[in-house]
Every structure is written in C-alpha cells, then in structure tokens.
Structure 1
Amino acid sequence: MARAVTQGPSCLGYPLSIFFIIINEFCERFSYYGMRAVLVLYFKYFLQWDDNLSTAIYHTFVALCYLTPILGALVADSWLGKFKTIVSLSIVYTIGQAIMSVSSINDLTDHNRDVAFYIALSMIGLILIALGTGGIKPCVSAFGGDQFEDHQEKQRTRFFSIFYLSINAGSLLSTIITPILRAQECGIHSKQRCYPLAFGVPAALMAVALAFINICNAIKQNSVSPQFAIKNRFRHRSKEFPKREHWLDWASEKYDKRLIAQTKMVLKVLFLYIPLPMFWALFDQQGSRWTLQATTMDGNFGSIQIQPDQMQTVNPILIIIMVPVVDALVYPLIKKCKINFTPLRKITVGMFLASLAFVAAALVQVQIDKTLPVFPAAGQSQIKIINLGTNDATVQFEPKLQSVDVMSMKSTGYMTFETSQLQSLNIASGNKTINAVVKLPGGSRHTLGVKNTATGIDIKWLFDNVTSKPEEGNNLIRFINNLPDAVNVTMGGTSFGTLMPLSASNYNLFPGGRKDKIVAVRNSIPCSVTSKAFGFGSAYTIVINRCVGDTLNVTYSEDIPPNTVHMAWQIPQYFILTCAEVVFSVTGLEFSYSQAPSNMKAVLQAGWLLTVAVGNIIVLIVAGASKLSEQWAEYVLFAALLLAVCIIFAVMAYFYTYTDVNEIEAQLDEEEKKQGKKDQDDYEKQSEAVSQM
C-alpha cells in the first residue's frame, strides 16, 4: 500500500494544503454548476434551438464530463501525476469557460450570418470544459487524501466530509447567482439576456481555483491486465493445463496472487454497476427537462421572482439539510426497528424513489398542459371579439355557426372555426346592423374590433401573429387606440409609436411579474396609468379608452393566459429525487469504497463516474427513440424504465456477497509471509546442501 506524502505546514492539526484544495473544489464546482445551470436556456433562447435539440446537446455535454475522468486518470497515473494533471486540465477548463463567455456576446437575432460561427465557438468551449472538469475529477479528492500521513485517519475522514460539503456549497451558490446574472439585460447590438456575465463569472472562479492548487507527489497505482488474462486463457486451452477457478486466474503467470484477488473484488463491484446508469438518466434531467418545465410555470414567490434555472437550487439546499438528518435520525430509527437496511437495499430504494419523482413530474406536467393555449390547425381560424363601443353587441357567424353576445368594453375568448365553413358575420349593436364577408387564412388567429358610432358600426380586423406561448416568463403586450385622435404610446420606457384611431400596435416583449407605467400623449397632453401585474407567459391587448385629466383609462383583453401552475409544485418532485440521491449516491460511494481493495479505490471511483456518463447517453437514446409528443408521457416512460431496472438490480443485489476487504487482504498478507518464509527455508536448505558438497 502506498504511503502518504511527508506532511508539510499544518493548521488546526490538518495539512495546510488541505484548505487550498477545499477552496479549489468549491470554486471549481461553482464554475461547473453555475455554467450548467443556465446552459439549456442558453441553447433554447440564445442559440434558438428547440427543446429536443437543447436537451440532446445538454446531456451529450454532461455525458462527456463523466467520460473524460477515465482520460484524466490515465494521464495522472501514467504520465503527469495528479498535481500536473490538475493544473494542466484546469487551464484547459478555464479557457473553455472563457470561450463560452465570448461566444455569447454577439446578438444572434441581428447577426444571423454569424450564427454558425458562434455555435461552433460554443461547442469548442463545451468540449474544453468537459475535458477539464472530467479530467481533474478523479484526481482532486485523491490528491487531497494524499496530503495526510498514515496516522491521520480521523482527519482524512473529516476532510472527505468537508470536501463533499464544499461541492454542494459551490453548487448551491452558483445555481442562485448565475441565473440572476443571466436575467440581467446586456448586449452590444441590442438588449439581451446577459449570458456573457453568467458564463464569465464561472470562468473567473475557475481561474481562482487554479491559484489554490498545492503541489504534492503523485502515487502511481497498478492493476491487473484483464486482456492478458483473457489472452492467456485461450492460449492454454489444452487439457495439460489445469482448470482455473476464475478467468482472472489465467493471469497468475504474470501477476502475483494478491493483485489478482484485488482485481476480482473490483470487477465484482463493477458488474453490479451495470444497472445504475438508469438512475442518472433521470437524475440529470433536473438541468434539462425540469428546467424547461419551469419556464412554463409561475415563478412569483411574493417579493422574490424565481428564474426557471434557479429551481435547481432546491436540490443542493435539500442535500445540505437531509444528509445530516438521514444519518442522525432516519438510519438510526430504521436500525432501531431491527430492519437490516444494507447499502444495496439503500441503493434499490433510491432507484425506486427516483422513479416516483418522475411520476410526480408527469402529474405536474399534466396540470401545465391544461393551461396551455390551443392554437388553430392548418384548416382552422380562431377569432376573438373586442367590443370597443358603448352598446352591447351581438355577432352571428354565418352560415348559422355560432352567435355570441359581447358586452360594452368587454371581449370574448378565441373561438375556433373551420375556415372553409365560415363565410360572413352579422353584427348588431344598438339599433344598427352590419354584414361583413369573411375570408381568413387557415392556421391563424384574428381579433375583431367592433364599435358602434353615430353613423353605424365600425369594425377592425387585427392579425394576431402569436403562434406560441411567450417563454421564459415573458409577456407580449400591444395597444389599441379607442380614442378619436391619434396618440403616442409608451410603456415602461418602450415606445409603441403613434396609433391612429381604431388601429393597433405590434406586440412588444416585457419581463413577467412586474407593473409598468403606461403613458399616452394626445394632442401634446400626456395621460398615464400604472398597468396591472401581467403575471408570466401571457399576451394582452390593452385598449386605450379615455384620458380624464392626466389619468388614462384602459381595459385589458387576455390573448394568452399567464402561467398559472406555480413553480412551488416542482418542490415535491425535487424533494423525492433528493431523497433518492441521498440513499443512492452517498451510499453508492460508501459501498464502492468499502468493497474496493486498498490500492484500487480510485478505479471504482472512475467506474462510478462512468455510470453517470452512460446515464446521460441513455437520455439521448430514449428521448430520441420514443418520439412521444407529450412531455408527461416521456416522464412516465423514464419512470417505468427505472422501475424495471430497479427490479433487476434488486435481484442482483440479493445474490451479491459482501466482501470484507481488510480480512481478505490480511489473509493474503499472511499467505505472502508464509510463502516468503517457505522460500527462505528452501533457499537456506539449498545453500546448506551446496556448502556440504
């Protein structure tokens, strides 16, 4: 077993270098999770990709981040050593973060010819980040453990607890801060979400992390070559070679018995890892599907407005609370009830809970889908009516399709008609009537403004060119001038231009959850009023009716309803998934450590990280192959797949025999001592025989 490095300067009984390593890990995790928190929204709203492509690229990136630890381990063990590997790949990591910040500076909506270049730049940045974060991941914790001497076992154990806490602290703070930075407005050519700042701060933190690395000699680890064992097995198929109990025993001609036994223990655990990627396939969708789900929800928490990507903070907050609660209360209570809650049973329960979390997400999605507007199909037209007059109006859709009464200064919802059947309208208001021929294109929405006047009935057709619900919690606002004179309209500093009587402005985009001042200037006289709070994800038509003194009178017509399902409804699914993580991930790491031989614990750590990578690849495969049009159905599919895998794992766990690594290694040590003594005795006998000749 390799001995720890000679201890340098200490503080509070710990090597001084440990504090630098913990700060380094905090900064690195802040950098990684901060960038990842806003990544799927960057794909969707900045690069303008759809949900499926954004999700696919997101999980491809996460998979790369958990595949590259294998490369990092090889480089560290075979070439550079842990310290040089961490420093070199941290530089690559920082460059990648900086490239992501630069790639998000340009306003793509004004420079479409540059889109391909900036997409390519983003992909280069993500590849460098994946190489950096994954490459240093298997090195940093082991590098920290190397700082302790053999007699500091207690301090080393505490170090790993603090190390895990620094990971969650970095994750928590970054998922709070970077979405706030993203929500700011900045841009060179026009105002946009401030992704350069959201990516730039993690880049700066990664540069800070680089400064806190302390030097320590790397420890090279050996392992049995399975390839040699397999090759040797088939080389000696003849009967003159005795059968071996295990296929790795065919490597005994090259490797000693101790190393072969240790490799058997590792492969035994790695085989048990095979079903585990399905858990991560669900778990890592917090940053993709669940974040996209939050964009269609109401984030108003009273005085605090929660961004969709900030909902990811629920997980690290709950982790920090639940890990000590589970360790101090839940597990002792289970033990008191005389339930043998073994590590593999904990992992099985974790998989089951993750499946339940996706059932909860599906139930939330069903409620969200009920609130989404229905847009017309290709052969349909949707019409809503706004009565701008002082008398009630009756509108008859001919031939005898539907009749609707509209009160003064009120509006209807959208009514759907087959375009081929709708021919004309008959409108009555007061003692006047009018008939109008209708010729509307299919697959479109229209607003009909109706106003009775002294001479008759005026009508105004408006083409509503909104084909989807506003995303990211924004609202679309437009104005109709119901005054007899032209007015110049502004809202919250945004100009809607000059509107002639019975004319409408275009829609403008406004952030959700706020009130703005509406100012209408008529004959150089301003009138104003504070708008109502529009909520999130809505579209409104605001009718300017009167200007009394300096007070503006307006009415609101809802074109698209705001998000009504609150983001707080995501908390149960986050809670269940966090419970799953506590009993699955933490237990899995502990189980891997306890079942691994002393000089191969890093191998199992790399194997554990590989299950995360495979899990993200599963997301790409399942989401691409399922072709489900409903998101709730995709959630149910993932839940069902994990439940099936959970049953398979439970069967595998039932037949698994736990290994007492210390006892086995002690037996191997004793056998080596006996063999050494026997060899020594044989040597002495041979020497004595030679001397007597």
Structure 2
Amino acid sequence: MADKGEMRKPKQKSATVCGYPISIFFIVVNEFCERFSYYGMRAVLVLYFKYFLRWDDDFATTIYHTFVALCYLTPILGAIVADSWLGKFKTIVYLSIIYALGQVVMAIGAIHDITDANKDGVPDNMTLHVALSMLGLILIALGTGGIKPCVAAFGGDQFQDDQEKQRSTFFSIFYLSINAGSLLSTVITPILRAQECGIHSQQKCYPLAFGVPAALMVVALIVFIVGNGMYNKTAPQGNIMVKVCKCIGFAIKNRFRHRASNEPKRHHWMDWAEEKYDKLLIAQVKMVLKVLFLYIPLPMFWALFDQQGSRWTLQATTMNGDFGFLIIQPDQMQTVNPILILILVPVMDSVFYPLISKCKLNFTPLRRMTVGMFLAALAFVAAGLVQIQIDQTMPKFPSSTVGQVKFINMIDRPLPIKAGTNVFTLNAFTANEDYLNFDEQFELKLGSNVTNVINVVNGTRSTVVIIQDGPLPKSIKFPDINSKPEQGANAIRFFNGFGSVFNVTVGNQDFGDIVTNSMSAYVAVPQGDAEFRIKKDGQECVYSQTLGFGSSYTLIIPPTFTFGQNCKDSIRPVMDISPNTIHMAWQIPQYFLITAGEVVFSVTGLEFSYSQAPSNMKSVLQAGWLFTVAVGNIIVLIVAEAATLSDKWAEYILFASLLVAVCIIFSIMAYFYTYIDPTEIEAQFKTKVNEDDEDDKSQYGRQRLRWSRKTQLNVTMKPKRPKCEQSKKQIRYP
C-alpha cells in the first residue's frame, strides 16, 4: 500500500526562509550525518578486518569490496520500493532504521570483551565477532544503498516549479554536505580507532570507531522524522525502471517468437515491442540503451578508484606518517580525496575547462571521461612505484624453506661465534646486524669449548641469547615476530640479564615481572617519545627512546645494570625490524591523480548521462551509473583472487594496465557515438502522435459523412417505416 498521506497530500507551498523551504534543513542535516556514518565506518573497515578479525590482506580486501558492491546494488531496490510502493518518505525512514541497526550491530561485534580473550587481547572465539560484523555490514548495505536514490530526489520535491534557482542551490548545498560529512568522518574515526579501550585488556578502540557513526545515523533518522510535518510528499507513480525492463523483455521475447517467420526485418531490435508499447516509449528506451552500452567499460575505473579504502590504506600502514606538526594515521590518508575534490571541482570549472575552450579544443564529455580513466591508471602506476620503494626498505622475512636467527651476546667480553658456516665476533651486550638464514638446524660454536645444535623452524625468526652459565657460555633461543608490527605501532620487548626480577611499564601498558635471563612478551608502543619505567623494590629507572612507525626492538638489561642517575645509559637497544622510512606524503601524488580522474570522469559522466537521458528516464541512467560502481568492486574481487601475484607493486601495475586497455576500448566507442538531443526527439514523436490523431479524426469524419449520405439516400428511396422501426435502424449505426 502506498502512504495515504503521500497519495492525498498535494504539493503545497511550505514555510520558507529567504525563499527556501524550511524542510530542506532537515534533509541536508540528515544527509550530512548519514554520510559521516557511512564514510566513518568505511574508513576503518579494512583495518578492522586485518587487525581485529585477523584476516590477511587479500581476504580483507575481498570482503571490503564485496560490501561496497552491495552498497551500490541496493539503490535499484530502494528506487523500486519508493516509486512503486512506499513512497520516498517511508522508504527513507524504514531503511534508515535498518541502517542504524546495522551500525549498532557492527559496534557490538567489535567489542573484544564479549568473548574470552587470550593474553594478547585477541578474542579466542572469533565466530561471534565475524557473524555480528557480517550481519551489520549486510544491514548497512541495504540501508545506505536503499536510501541513496531517495534522499536527493525527496529534497528536490520540496520546491515548487517556479523555484528552479533555489532547487539548484539546494543540490549544491546537498553535495557540500556529502563531502563535509565524508571529510570530517575520515579524520575523526581513525583517531577514535587509535585510542586504547577495553575492560579486561586494552586494544584499539574499534567499538568507539563504529559506535560514533552509529550514533550519527540515529541522529540522522531523528532529524529526518522531526521534519515530517513540513515535507511535501508525492504519491508513488510506479517505477519507470520496471516499465523499461518490461518493454525490453517484451521486445526480446517477441523477436524470439518470430525468429522463424518471414516477417520483414525491423530497423532496431527494440521495434519488436511496437505490438504492445507506444513508439515514444520505445524511442526513449533506445536512447537509454545507447548510453548504457557506453557504460560497459566504466566499471574498470571504479575497480581502481575504490581501492583507496583497501589496498592504499594497507599500503599506508607500512609508511611513515610523521608530518612534523601532526601524526597521520594510515586510514586518515583517505581524507586527501575529499579535500582535493573541494579544491579541484571549482578549479576545473572556472579555470581548466575555460582555458581548453579558449584554445578551441573540442573537449567533449566522452573525451573528458577518457582522460579521467587515463589519470586513474597513472595513479596506480604511481602507487606501484611507491610500493617498489617500500619493498626495498622492508626486512627480508623468511620464506617457508628457511628460518632466520639473530644472536645477542650478554657476556661482558667479546665472544667469537661460529653458526653453521657463518663466523663472526660479537662485542659485549651487542647483536649481529641482521638475521642469518638457516635450514632446519645448525651447529653453534661459542668460543673454543662449547658447541650446541640449534633447531630452526622454517618460516620463523628467532633470537639466540648467549649468557654466562658458570665458567662457560650458554645459548637460549626465543621466538621473534616475523612480520611488520600492526598498524604502524612498534613491537618492544625486554631481556633481563640483571640478577633479579624487575617490572617494566610504558604509559598504561605493563610488560609484567621479568625474571633473570628471560624475555618479556612484545608490547605495541605507538610512535613518538616513549618512557619505559623499570621498577624494583621502590627503585625506578626511566629509559626514553624515540620510536618511529613499524619497528621492533629488543631492549637489553645487562648484568652490569644498576639503579641510579645514569642507569638508562647501560640499557642497550637491539633493532630487530627497522622503522618505516618511506613517508606517507609520497601517497599524495597518487591521490591527486585519482581525484583529478574522479572529477573529470565522474562529474562529467553524470552530466553526460543527464543530457543524453529522456526526460522521464534520468533515474534509470542514475541506477545504471551506480551499478557500474558495484561491478567495479566485483572486478577487484575477481582480479584479487585470480591474479595470485606475490608482489603488491605488480598488482598495482596489472590494474593500471587493465584500465589503459579499457580506456582504449572506451575511446573507440566514444569516437563512434553520436550525441543526441532527447527533448527534440521526444518532441518529434509527440508531434507525430498528434498528427496521427488528427488523421484518425479526419478519416473518422469522412466515414461519418459517407454514412450520413448513404442514410439520407436510403430514407429518400425507401418507403417510410413506423417510428419504432426507424429507431431500431438508427441503433445499428454508431
């Protein structure tokens, strides 16, 4: 049933301020809060998959793009429901409730204390977290996609026919609210994620990062409902997309039915729908299909564009985010896109395009879109070059066929060591510079008297600490991490060579009590100046160290350590993994290129679709445009799964190559495209219909005249009949 209020209530003039309906205030605020909710949640999503749910990069990317694809498939469903059944207002309200519920479920699923956690704070049973997260994402995809085609159109409905200027200004403000919500959320939610929270253990605060967007979605829903009494609501008129699909389906079925007949061929396959549908509708469908055919190559652009939130964010986790005046989190780099959009859109419209026009270059919309695709390909080439630089600075972690070992000398004298075929000497309280590779096991010779056999597990890293055990040296093996620390943090641990137990803390984190000749667990310490407090029996030693991004250190407490003013000087740091050295600023060129590509491609594409669409089918092309975004994200899934490339830079170059190939195909299709004026074509068909109607009326008039003369002749030549018979005779004729 359609909303009775929407069906009966005519479009009436609502209260205005400066010529604008007050109701649009509620719609703009609703859109700002909703976009904050969506982009804020999405900004931290891939890191949540990797670091909370413990999925690898490829699987995290797959689920991320599956979610984005669903968000751009559901607008078709929302448009059909709004236009054919509930109306825009009820559709927005009902789907916003589902949307807010999904955000709440996501926040609950991210609470690591709802299941038992191990000593590292990682939930032991991930099933509940995964189930809640997937349910939340499905609800969010249904909500955000379903309301996408409704909110802007509902805002346009608030204006009268004579308020074209105000309506145009509204859409500009509406677009600004979208970018403002996106920009603020991608700044704020990564900061919330970086906080430490928890009851039993302190972890990255994903519940807060998801909870704030959930709260904003609830605010968006409340604000929208508060304005209920001020809205102009239009009745559902039936969905044009359904009508178009039926027309196309009938044409295909009718053509298939007459495939073996001798009927003459028709000019266009859609002409087979003439038996059921009028020629104006068929002509409009032809115009739509002509544009949709051009849409076929477009998903490849979105396949690259939407990787800003997945692959590029993961790339940023291996980079240095220290900009001096502020520290940038990996997921905050996504803010570069909306900032550049706000800069480039007016620059393109007021500077770039007018300059090209003055140069008398025919920069058509389709040529602009081709340039946009090429810029996106260049962005991925730039990303590939950055990745090559990152890979050169990354440690060489062990493959599945070797194990790696590092040696630390905790004896207060130089010690000659022979490890397999490697011969070297370690000074007191130092380590060899890099890890050595071994296969399964090797013979370790310490000095001239002690020989041990060390077993190595392939694919792992270990540290062998050599201590003084009575008169002879002794080796102890400890496992090391064999990957970069998560989220740009620093993995720090202590080795206690001191003669008694002591406790170490940094900030609000505790390494625990460390006994003699033992290694503490790793503690994730953020970038910046860290103060480590070593405590024993009321005595304290403060050791400070400046940490970068993604490093790992073993801090040695030697046997010669004593509490006192200079205690910190005896602590020796051993760097196991070097910090990230490639700066995040190197990502700015790739963000600039892809944002410039988006402005040239996306904005132009929407304008082109609007100009080439029939007056009553612009929503059909809008749905088709959103569908290309969904297909683009599906392409990422296919390529990520099919192209099993070990090097990430190679995957970036693969995507760039695919887009260049598609760009060439699109440019050929654009070359043969003929621009049309839908209004003129529709006017021609309407004129023809009117002329046909006039012809029908003329033929009907001539037929009536012939019948009238014949009747008069019959009446004149035949004898008169009774009145009753004459009346019967007259009844037989129209």
Q: Identify the TM-score tier after normalising by the shorter chain.
A: over 0.9
Q: In structure 1, what is the Cα distance between the partners aligned to 2:371 and 2:163?
A: 34
Q: Which residue of 2 aligns with 1:528?
A: 541
**Alpha-carbon spacing, 1:8–1:672, altered in 2? closer, same or farther (3 Å):** farther
- Superposed counterparts of 1:495-644, under 5 Å: 495-501=510-516, 503-522=517-536, 524-545=537-558, 546-547=561-562, 549-553=564-568, 554-644=571-661
Of residues 613-622 and 664-673 in structure 1, the stretch that sits farther from structure 2 once superposed is 664-673
Letter of the 1:520 counterpart: I
Pairwise CA distance, 1:187: 2.0
How far 1:278 moved relative to its partner? Answer: 0.7
Cα distance in 2, alignment partners of residues 678 and 15 from structure 1: 47
Unaligned runs of 5+ in 1: 428-432
* Offset at residue 331 of structure 1 (A): 0.8
- For 1:75, the equivalent position in structure 2 comes to 81
Contact kept? 2:440, 2:456, Cα under 8 Å:
no
Q: Who is 2:714 aligned against?
A: none
Residue 659 of structure 1: CA displacement? 0.9
Q: Is the 8 A contact 1:377 1:442 kept in 2?
A: no
DSSP 3-state at the match of 2:455: coil
Output one character per residue of 1:361-404: Cα deviation in whole Å (capped at 9) or x when no partner: 11111111122222334553433233445544432335xx2222
Q: Find the residue that maps to 2:545 and give its secondary structure.
A: coil
Answer whether contact 2:75 2:623 (CA < 8 A) is retained: yes
1:117-156 correspondence to structure 2 within 5 Å: 117-156=128-167
Residues 407-458 of structure 1 show CA distances to partners (whole Å, capped at 9, x for unaligned) of: 444322234243467323243xxxxx543323222324333444679x8564
Q: Structure 2 vs 1, CA of residues 208 and 487 (structure 1 numbering), >3 Å: closer, same or farther?
A: closer
Flag the 1:379–1:267 CA change in 2: closer, same or farther, 3 A.
Answer: closer
Distance, in Å, in 1 between the alignment partners of 2:503 and 2:146 is 59
1:168 corresponds to:
179
Mapped pair 1:661 → 2:678: yes
Provide the secondary structure at the position in 1 that maps to 2:547: coil
Supply the RMSD in Å over aligned alpha carbons: 2.4
The alignment status of 1:404 with 2:404, answered yes or no, reads: no
Bigger mean CA deviation after superposition, 126-135 or 154-163: 154-163
Residue 689 of structure 1 and its aligned partner are, at CA, apart by 4.7
Q: Partner residue of 1:56?
A: 62
Identity of aligned residues (%): 60
**Given the alignment of the two structures, is residue 249 of structure 1 paired with residue 263 of structure 2, yes or no?**
no
1:688 Cα deviation from its structure 2 partner: 4.6
| Shift in CA distance, 226/514, structure 1 to aligned 2, threshold 3 Å | same
Q: Secondary structure at the match of 1:414?
A: coil
Query: In the alignment, which residue of structure 2 is the partner of 1:430?
Result: none
| TM-score normalised over the length of structure 1 | 0.93
Task: Note the alpha carbon deviations across 1:240-288, whole angstroms, 9 max, x for none.
Answer: 7443221112222222222111111111101110010011111111111
The equivalent position to 1:358 in structure 2, one of 375, 380, 383, is 380
TM-score, normalised to structure 2's length? 0.88
Amino acid at match of 1:537: G
| Residue 647 (1) aligns with residue 658 (2) | no
Q: CA 1:525–1:121 in 2, change beyond 3 Å: closer, same or farther?
A: closer
For 1:166-245, list aligned pairs within 5 A: 166-213=177-224, 214=228, 215=231, 216-220=233-237, 221-222=239-240, 223-224=243-244, 225-237=247-259, 241-245=263-267
AA partner of residue 557 (structure 1):
V
Larger deviation: 290-299 or 646-655?
A: 290-299
2:373–2:659 contact (8 Å) kept in structure 1: yes
- 1:152 & 1:491 partners in 2: Cα distance? 63
> Corresponding residue for 2:715?
none
Q: 1:341 to 1:491 in 2, by over 3 A?
A: same
1:622 and 1:348 map into 2 onto residues whose CA distance is 22
Partner Cα separation in structure 2 for residue 35 and residue 520 of structure 1: 39
Amino acid at match of 2:45: L
**Larger CA deviation: 290-299 vs 615-624:** 290-299
Aligned length: 681
Choose which of 5, 14, 27 in structure 2 pairs with 1:8.
14
Equivalent position amino acid for 1:152 in 2: Q
Cα distance, 1:113–1:152 mapped onto 2, change above 3 Å: same
Distance 1:637 1:608, change over 3 A: same
Stretch moving more, 433-442 or 243-252: 433-442
- In 2, the alpha carbon distance for the partners of 1:596 and 1:346 equals 19
CA–CA distance in 1 between the matches of 2:332 and 2:539? Answer: 40
**1:413 aligns to what SS in structure 2?**
coil
Distance apart, 1:530 and its partner CA: 3.8
Tell me, yes or no, if the aligned pair for 1:361 and 1:632 is still in contact at 8 Å: yes
- Taking the aligned partners of 1:371 and 1:464, their CA distance within structure 2 comes to 23
The one-letter amino acid paired with 1:124 is L
Find the partner of 1:31 among 29, 33, 37: 37
The 5-angstrom pairing of residues 235-634 of structure 1 reads 235-237=257-259, 241-378=263-400, 380-398=402-420, 401-419=421-439, 422-427=442-447, 434-443=449-458, 444-450=460-466, 456=471, 458-501=473-516, 503-522=517-536, 524-545=537-558, 546-547=561-562, 549-553=564-568, 554-634=571-651
Aligned equivalents of 2:193, 2:223: Cα separation in 1? 27
Work out whether residues 190 and 209 of structure 2, in 8 Å CA contact, stay in contact via their aligned partners in 1.
yes
Tell me if the contact between 1:95 and 1:128 (Cα under 8 Å) persists in the aligned partners: yes
Amino acid in structure 1 at the alignment position of 2:479: D
CA drift of 1:82 comes to 1.7
Deviations 1:534-581 (A, max 9, x none): 212111111224335344221211011111112111111111110110
| 2-structure distance, mates of 1:88, 1:647 | 44
Distance 1:459 1:98, change over 3 A: same
**1:477, CA displacement in angstroms?**
1.2
Q: Gapped runs of 5+ residues in structure 2?
A: 1-9, 712-734
Q: 1:673 aligns with which of 678, 684, 690?
A: 690
